[in-house]
Amino acid sequence: MSVTPERCILLIEDNPDDEALTRRAFAKNNITNPVVVAHDGAEALEYLFDEDIHAAGASGLPILILLDLKLPKIDGLTVLRRLRADPRTRLLSVVILTSSGEQQDLVEGYGLGANSYIRKPVDFAEFMEAVRQLGLYWLILNTPPPPVI
């Protein structure tokens, strides 16, 4: 699976092991979009809403956001709430990728406008397959909305 690398994937993940695993799964599945990593919710919001970052050469808003829920500084549900409240980011594709199996997180995530909710598989082979399917659907099959200007 080869993806046109103009638009990045924003991975919002505080666990370095999960970040490395996700990057490895992208590489093994030939997902070539640049990956920008935010290690907490505040860093993610700064990346998404700071005009100076984008003026300095970042490739605009991401084509896909992979959002963990249990984040330091600002939690994932608050990040999602802020994304959906702003017209510039309201339509971005957001996949919650988390280890949380709490029903409340699932309901609130969808209620706030998540496009998908995926529990991180514990098994590496299952995780690789989940990332392959994520890439296939969100980066190849799905037609994202045009960027808001």
CA–CA dist 67, 97 (Å, integer): 6
Render each residue's pLDDT in the chain as its tens digit; 149 residues: 334 446 899 999 999 999 999 999 999 988 989 999 999 999 999 999 986 655 444 557 899 999 999 999 999 999 999 999 999 899 999 999 998 889 999 999 999 999 999 998 888 889 889 988 998 899 888 888 877 66
Walk across the sheet containing 116-119 and list its strands: 35-38, 9-12, 64-67, 94-98, 116-119
Its sign, for the CA torsion 135, 137, 139, 144, is negative
CA–CA dist 122, 128 (Å, integer): 10
- Which residue has tokens 């997180």? 105
Q: Beta partners for 10?
A: 36, 65
- Distance of CA 50 to CAs 35, 42, 53, 123, Å? 18, 11, 6, 37
Three-class DSSP category at 121: coil
